[in-house]
Chains A and B, each alone.
Chain A
């Protein structure tokens, strides 16, 4: 079974700083997707960025980028020029392509951006 581990329960940085959230996962599958989701206090789950395992190039979306290390099964999220609106819970998630379309989530990292 797949597992996803986020080792940082909480992080806090100043506005405009860069912050990196860590995520490791375990799977025996060779092709899969990885995601970072943001969940603000409204509890709406918002997709931040996705990475296909077959792509060597790291995904980027504006201020958000990932460092995908397939061999190490590591998938970290970097937020550049952090903004107050980035304050939220961040979840790393794995989606295998065999069987059910089942997202496996980590425990989450609570990120606080301070003014």
Chain B
């Protein structure tokens, strides 16, 4: 079975532009979460979607938005890019909410976004 897949793997944008990152969860998983990892730091929670509804939002500005589609894939959108948005964006999926005993959160390989 395929793991969590994210696209693209790398992206270069300039300040003020808009970007869309995509995530496909593991087959059967209904929860998708997004994290931002700035170099040298731990990941920070951005959003969680479960059954196509937003279930949580981290401390990020309104320039960040996301959605989940009927097939449970997800998009993260960032408008008016700033230099500080340069980071690795990670997607994680799981089957249930809350996480059950012995269930795992699986991460994708991430999208490296560079804002120039």
Contact = CB atoms under 8 A, between A and B. Distances in A.
Interface of A: 4, 33, 35, 37, 42-47, 50, 52, 91, 93, 95, 97, 99-108
Nearest to A54: B101
A44 B110 CA distance: 7
A100 B55 contact: yes
Contacts of A101: 31, 33, 48, 50, 55-56, 94, 97-99, 105
Contacts, number: 69
Contacts of B90: 45
B111 to A, nearest CB: 11
A50 B102 CA distance: 9
B56 A100 contact: yes
Sorting the interface of chain B by its residue count into under 10, 10 to 19, 20 to 34 or 35 or more gives: 20 to 34
In the A-B complex, list the 7 residue pairs whose CB atoms are closest, starting with the nearest: A100-B56, A105-B42, A45-B107, A102-B45, A97-B98, A100-B48, A100-B55
Contacts of B109: 42-44
Given A47-B104, A100-B55, A101-B56, A107 B41 contact: yes
B72 interface: no
B110 A43 contact: yes
